[in-house]
Structure 1
Amino acid sequence: MPKAIQSVELRNLLIEDYKELIKSMIESYPEMAESFWKEHQLQNLLEKFPEGQLVIVVDGVVVGSALSILVTEDFAFKTRNYKAITGNYTFSTHNPDGEVIYGIDVFINPKYRGLRLGRRLYDARKELCDQLNLKSIIFAGRIPNYVNYKDEITPKIYIEKVKRKEIYDPVLSFQLSNDFHEVRVLKNYLEGDIESQEYAVLLEWNNVYYDDSPKLINTQKSVVRLGLIQWQMRSLSNLEALFEQAEFFIDTVSGYGCDFALFPELFTAPLMADFNHLSEAEAIKELAKHTEAVKLKFQEFAISYNINIITGSMPLIENGHVYNVGFLCKRDGTNEMYRKIHITPNEIFYWGITGGDTIQTFDTDCGKIGIVICYDVEFPELSRLMADEGMNILFVPFLTDTQNGYTRVKHCAQARAIENECYVAITGCVGNLPKVNNMDIQYAQAAVFTPSDFAFPSNGIKAEATPNTEMTLIVDVDINLLKELHQNGSVRTMRDRRKDLYQLKKLK
Structure 2
Amino acid sequence: MSITINKVELRNLQIEDYKELKKSMIESYPEMVNSYWKEEHIEKLLAVFPEGQLVIVADGVVVGSALSILVTEDFAFKTKNYKAITGNYTFSTHNPKGEVLYGIDVFINPKYRGLRLGRRLYDSRKELSEQLNLKSIIFAGRIPNYGKHASELNPKQYIEKIKRKELYDPVLSFQLSNNFHEVRVLKNYLEGDVESQEYAVLLEWNNVYYEDNPRLINTEKSIVRLGLIQWQMRSLGNIEALFEQAEFFIDAVSGYGSDFALFPELFTAPLMADYNHLSEAEAIKELARHTDAVKKKFQEFAISYNINIITGSMPYLEDGHVYNAGFLCKRDGTNEMYRKIHITPNEIFYWGITGGDTIQTFDTDCGKIGIVICYDVEFPELSRLMADEGMNILFVPFLTDTQNGYTRVRHCAQARAIENECFVAIAGCVGNLPKVNNMDIQFAQSAVFTPSDFAFPSNGIKAETTPNTEMTLIVDVDINLLKELHEHGSVRAMKDRRHDLYQLKKLK
Both proteins in one fold, TM over 0.5: yes
Q: Following TM superposition, where does structure 1 have runs of at least 4 consecutive aligned residues deviating by more than 6 angstroms?
A: none
Instruction: State the identity %.
Output: 87
Partner of 2:252: 252
How far, CA to CA, are the matches of 1:368 and 1:59 in structure 2? 25
- Residues 1:117 and 2:114 are matched in the alignment: no
Determine the structure 2 residue equivalent to 1:279: 279
Q: CA deviation at 1:153?
A: 2.2
For residues 95 and 291 of structure 1, the distance between their equivalents in structure 2, rounded to whole angstroms, comes to: 53
Amino acid in structure 2 at the alignment position of 1:7: K
Give 2:337's aligned residue.
337
**Whole-angstrom CA distance in 2 between matches of 1:222 and 1:216:** 12
Counterpart CA distance in 2 for 1:183 and 1:177 is 15
Inter-partner Cα distance in structure 2 for 1:362 and 1:17: 30
1:86-134 per-position Cα deviation (integer Å, ceiling 9, x unaligned): 1110001111122211101000111111110100110111111111111
- Residue number in structure 2 paired with 1:486: 486
Give 1:43 shift.
0.7
Tell me if the contact between 1:2 and 1:111 (Cα under 8 Å) persists in the aligned partners.
Answer: yes
Structure 2 residue runs without a partner (length 5+): none
Question: Is the 1:329–1:335 Cα contact (8 Å) retained in structure 2?
Answer: yes
| Pairs within 5 Å for 1:303-342 | 303-342=303-342
Counterparts of 1:434-445 in structure 2 under 5 Å? 434-445=434-445
Amino acid across the alignment from 1:330: K
Q: Which amino acid aligns with 2:17?
A: D
The residue that corresponds to 1:184 in the other structure is: 184
Residues of 1 paired with 2:337 and 2:322: CA distance?
15
CA distance in 1, matches of 2:366, 2:155: 43
Distance 2:378 2:289 in 1: 29
Q: Distance in 2 between matches of 1:94 and 1:306?
A: 31
Contact 1:227 1:474 in 2 (8 A): yes
Q: Say which is worse superposed, 371-380 or 481-490, in terms of deviation.
A: 481-490
The equivalent of 2:23 in structure 1 is 23
User: Equivalences for 1:193-342 in 2 at 5 Å?
Assistant: 193-211=193-211, 216-219=213-216, 220=219, 221-342=221-342
AA in 1 matched with 2:90:
T
Counterpart secondary structure, 2:145: helix
- Once the two structures are TM-superposed, the CA of residue 45 in structure 1 deviates from its matched residue by 1.0
Checking the alignment, whether the CA contact within 8 Å between 1:25 and 1:107 is kept in structure 2 is: yes
**Would you say the 8 A contact 1:44–1:91 is kept in 2?**
yes
Letter in 2 for 1:20: E
1:219-252 CA distance string (max 9 Å, x none): 5521111111111111111111111111111111
User: 3-state SS of the aligned residue for 2:297?
Assistant: helix
| Per-residue deviation, 1:415 | 1.1
Number of paired residues?
Answer: 505
Q: Distance in 2 between matches of 1:234 and 1:125?
A: 41
Q: Is the 8 A contact 1:326 1:337 kept in 2?
A: yes
Q: Secondary structure at the match of 2:133?
A: coil
C-alpha change, 1:78 and 1:3, in structure 2 (3 Å) is closer
User: Residue 418 in 1 paired to residue 418 in 2?
Assistant: yes
Q: Which moved more, 1:281-290 or 1:440-449?
A: 281-290
Q: What residue is the counterpart of 1:160 in the other structure?
A: 160
SS of alignment partner, residue 234 of structure 2: coil
Per-residue CA distance 1:46-105 (angstroms, 9 max, x = gap): 111111111111122111100011111221112111111111100011111222111010
**What is the aligned-residue RMSD (CA, Å)?**
1.3
Contact 2:53 2:68 in 1 (8 A): yes
- CA distance in 2: counterparts of 1:87 and 1:230, whole angstroms: 54
Cα deviations by residue, 1:409-449 (Å, 9 ceiling, x for unpaired): 01111111111111111010001111211110000000111
2:55 is aligned to 55
Cα distance between partner residues in 1 of 2:505 and 2:5: 36
Instruction: Supply the distance in 2 between the matched residues of 1:488 and 1:208 (Cα, whole angstroms).
Output: 30
Partner of 2:500: 500
Counterpart AA for 1:368: K
Q: CA deviation at 1:3?
A: 5.8
- Give yes or no for contact 1:183–1:201 (8 Å, CA) kept in 2: yes
What letter is aligned with 1:36? Y
SS in 2 for 1:30: coil
Structure 1, gaps ≥5 residues long: none
How much does 1:36 deviate?
A: 1.2
Contact 1:4–1:296 at 8 Å: present in 2 too? no
Equivalent-residue separation in structure 1 for 2:22 and 2:314 (angstroms): 43
Amino acid at match of 1:41: H
Q: Is the 8 A contact 2:302 2:331 kept in 1?
A: yes
Q: State the alpha-carbon separation in 2 of the partners of residues 325 and 500 from structure 1.
A: 36
**What secondary structure does 1:144 align onto?**
coil
Q: Is the 8 A contact 2:417 2:423 kept in 1?
A: yes
1:316-364 Cα deviation digits (max 9, x unpaired)? 1111111111000111111100001111111111111111111100000
Query: Does the 8 Å contact 2:26/2:35 carry over to 1?
Result: no
Q: Please tell me the residue identity of whatever aligns with 1:291.
A: T
Q: What secondary structure is seen at the aligned counterpart in 2 of 1:31?
A: coil
Name the SS of the counterpart of 1:224 in structure 2. Answer: strand
Deviation larger for 28-37 or 12-21: 28-37
More moved, 447-456 vs 401-410: 447-456
- Mapped to 1, the partners of 2:422 and 2:119 lie a distance apart of 32
Contact kept in structure 1, 2:397 and 2:428, CA below 8 Å: yes
Q: For residue 488 of structure 1, report the CA deviation from its aligned partner.
A: 1.7
TM-score, normalised relative to structure 2? 0.97
Given that 1:233 and 1:432 are in contact with CA atoms closer than 8 Å, whether structure 2 keeps it comes out as yes
**What SS class does the counterpart of residue 198 from structure 2 fall into?**
coil
- SS of 2:31's equivalent in the other structure is helix
